[in-house]
């Protein structure tokens, strides 16, 4: 099936997580050329990946998924991604099949739910016992393991980080030292989110705030003269997120920003926008401590983990205030003020 990045409604939480994973994959036709001699193997892996995700989306019961709306997003995500981490964790590839001691295999499948093995078999997995060993191969997508192992091994060699995520997202560009850009983040978004992201990008570049490489967690830092101005990335449900530092309370930077804000005709509304977007700690252990020791910002008591600002899925109306915050950040940088509270500002 073709997953629509503009989709907003799902029958259950598993469908949403499958959709999230599928829509974070770059277009196959743009990544396959980077596979070089492994194009056939990568095509096998891609076809397996798409077939498995489509089956998960349409038939979650076949995989034994727990469909519980009250579960945290990360638990649903873990259920879906489990199968790909299993593939990434296999060792000792010979040709296009894995061979492992039977006792190691028996220990491994204890992590599976009863339906999981049968679900994999439906997609070509064969678990063949030979004496004291188990051979694992795929008779529908015979070379998929070759591609998976190459993405992990060459990915680590090229990036010096754990590259299972490239395998998870079918990003074959990892095989040739490709460096992701901000466009690899924007392509994930729905049309509406992409439009907002591109407006923010255009404003930033127009003010010489330049995007850096996009890492494998889909994070892009935007910098001005080597200083981080803000960060963008993708959150659950493929939300577009902006993170920017404000200033350490009481610091020189804070006083400068506070003074500048008072010049705006809608200063009170601007302050409310800032206060409503400070990072909250949610269920962290310090939540009660924060409630009993709130910060005072703009003369108001605020419960917040820090003065980092996080804006999820900004609207067209929010852009006015976002651009102002970027202007204030540039003002602090140009003034040569070091604010240790903001990453990269010192």
Q: Per-residue pLDDT tens for 150-163?
A: 988 887 777 766 66
Task: Give the pLDDT band (50/70/90) at residue 325.
Answer: very high
Q: How far is CA 80 from the centre of its chain?
A: 15
Residues 6+ apart with CB under 8 A from 42: 32, 35, 147, 172
pLDDT in tens, 87-138: 888 888 899 999 999 998 888 888 888 788 899 999 999 999 988 999 999 9
CB neighbourhood size of 328 (10 A): 20
Q: Report pTM.
A: 0.87
Does 59 score more than 70 pLDDT?
yes
CA separation, residue 231 to residues 29, 134, 182, 245, 339 (Å) = 29, 47, 11, 9, 17
Decide if 142 contacts 48 (C-beta within 8 A): no
Domain residue spans in the chain? 13-176, 182-334
Give percent of the chain above pLDDT 90: 56
Give the C-alpha separation, 248 to 192, whole Å. Answer: 33
**Res 346 pLDDT > 70:** no
Beta bridge mates, 322: none
- Band (pLDDT 50/70/90 cuts) for residue 285 is very low
> What is the C-alpha to C-alpha distance for residues 182 and 198, in angstroms, rounded to an integer?
10
The stretch 223-246 carries a mean pLDDT of 91
Using the predicted structure, report yes or no on whether residue 345 has a pLDDT greater than 50.
Answer: no
């Amino acid at each position: 099936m073709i997953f629509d990045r503009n989709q907003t409604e799902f029958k259950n939480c598993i469908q949403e997580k499958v959709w999230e994973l599928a829509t974070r994959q770059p277009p196959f036709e743009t990544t396959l050329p980077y596979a070089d001699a492994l194009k056939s193997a990568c095509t096998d892996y891609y076809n397996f990946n798409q077939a498995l995700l489509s089956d998960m989306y349409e038939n979650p019961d076949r995989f034994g998924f727990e469909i519980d709306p009250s579960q945290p997003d990360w638990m649903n995500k873990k259920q879906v991604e489990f199968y790909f981490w299993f593939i990434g964790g296999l060792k000792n590839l010979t040709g296009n099949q894995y061979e492992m001691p039977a006792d190691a295999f028996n220990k491994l499948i204890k992590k599976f739910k009863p339906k999981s093995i049968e679900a994999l078999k439906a997609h070509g997995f064969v678990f063949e016992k030979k004496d004291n060993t188990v051979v694992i191969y795929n008779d529908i997508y015979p070379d998929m393991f070759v591609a998976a192992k190459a993405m992990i091994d060459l990915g680590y060699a090229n990036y010096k980080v754990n590259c299972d995520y490239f395998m998870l997202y079918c990003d074959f560009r990892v095989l040739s030292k490709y460096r992701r850009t901000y466009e690899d983040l924007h392509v994930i978004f729905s049309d509406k989110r992409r439009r907002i992201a591109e407006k923010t990008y255009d404003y930033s570049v127009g003010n010489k705030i330049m995007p850096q490489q996009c890492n494998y967690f889909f994070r892009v830092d935007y910098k001005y003269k080597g200083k981080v101005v803000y960060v963008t990335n993708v959150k659950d449900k493929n939300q577009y997120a902006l993170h920017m530092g404000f200033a350490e309370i009481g610091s020189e930077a804070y006083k400068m920003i506070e003074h500048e804000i008072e010049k705006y005709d809608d200063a009170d509304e601007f302050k409310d926008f800032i206060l409503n977007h400070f990072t909250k700690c949610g269920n962290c252990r310090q939540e009660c401590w924060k409630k009993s020791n709130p910060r005072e910002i703009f003369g108001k008591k605020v419960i917040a983990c820090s003065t980092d600002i996080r804006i999820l899925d900004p609207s067209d109306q929010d852009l006015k205030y976002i651009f102002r915050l970027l202007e204030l950040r540039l003002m602090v940088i140009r003034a040569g003020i070091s604010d240790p509270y903001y990453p990269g500002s010192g």
